[in-house]
């Protein structure tokens, strides 16, 4: 997808302002658990089937396709009362502040390191379904990702998305919503 956009000759500034139609073209055949909008691409997202009825974690990789740093400001999911980026620190889990995505860089949320923590689950998740997470970036605006729920043991995957891409038979992207 990155290559394609570059070939089309969109600069970073154009990307950041890309209208909905462009985005949906670019995301015509996305991998499972991926989404692209406003110069931010999310790939390899997965949610291991939560062992707890109350809390889940989401793992994903953020790519900044632009030459300007962007920042993940917050996240929300309709199926959880609270969504927070968290980090596993030296002895404990701590809340991440805004997460900076460097220009042309990537930030990976991997098991045992960083994750989106989803608390107050409103329903029981099922392996194979896709759950929506809405991410808010300073520049890219709102990016919605449909994240596949995968078997719990996939939490042992050390690279976010390594297994998740294999997980879904019929990948879908929710595209983006208004909110820029």
Q: Smallest distance, Å, CB 61 to another protein?
A: 10
Q: How far apart are CA 97 and CA 133, in angstroms?
A: 18
Size of the site for another protein (CB under 8 A): 52
With H, G, I as helix, E, B as strand and everything else as coil, classify residue 26. helix
29 counts as binding another protein under rule CB under 8 A: no
* Chain residues 100-139 in contact with another protein, contact rule CB under 8 A: 100, 102-115, 117-120
Q: Identify which of residues 20 and 159 has a Cβ nearer to another protein in the complex.
A: 159
12 counts as binding another protein under rule CB under 8 A: no
Adjacent-strand bridge partners of 71: 100
Taken as a whole, the chain contains a residue count of 180
Q: Smallest distance, Å, CB 177 to another protein?
A: 25
* 142 exposure class (CB count in 10 Å sphere: 0-12, 13-18, 19+): middle
Among 28, 29, 51, 178, binds another protein (CB under 8 A): 51
Residue 24 backbone dihedrals phi, psi, to 5 degrees: -70, -30
- Containing 136, the helix (H) or strand (E) segment is strand 130-137
* Chain residues 62-81 in contact with another protein, contact rule CB under 8 A: 69
Q: In the complex, which residues of this chain contact another protein (CB under 8 A)?
A: 48-57, 69, 82, 84-100, 102-115, 117-120, 152-153, 155-156, 158
């Amino acid at each position: 997808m990155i290559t394609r956009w570059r070939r089309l000759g969109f600069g970073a500034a154009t990307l950041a302002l890309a209208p909905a139609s462009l985005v949906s073209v670019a995301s015509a055949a996305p991998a499972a658990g991926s989404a692209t909008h406003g110069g931010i691409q999310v790939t390899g997202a997965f949610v291991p089937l939560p062992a707890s009825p109350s809390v889940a974690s989401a793992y994903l990789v953020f790519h900044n396709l632009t030459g300007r740093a962007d920042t993940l400001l917050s996240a929300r999911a309709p199926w959880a009362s609270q969504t927070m980026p968290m980090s596993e620190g030296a002895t404990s889990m701590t809340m991440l502040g805004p997460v900076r995505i460097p220009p042309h860089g990537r930030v990976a949320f991997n098991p045992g390191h960083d994750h989106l923590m989803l608390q107050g689950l409103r329903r029981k998740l099922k392996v194979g379904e896709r759950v929506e997470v809405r991410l808010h970036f300073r520049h890219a605006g709102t990016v919605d990702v449909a994240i596949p729920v995968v078997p719990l043991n996939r939490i042992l995957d050390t690279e976010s998305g390594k297994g998740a891409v294999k997980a879904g038979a019929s990948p879908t992207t929710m595209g983006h919503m208004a909110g820029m």
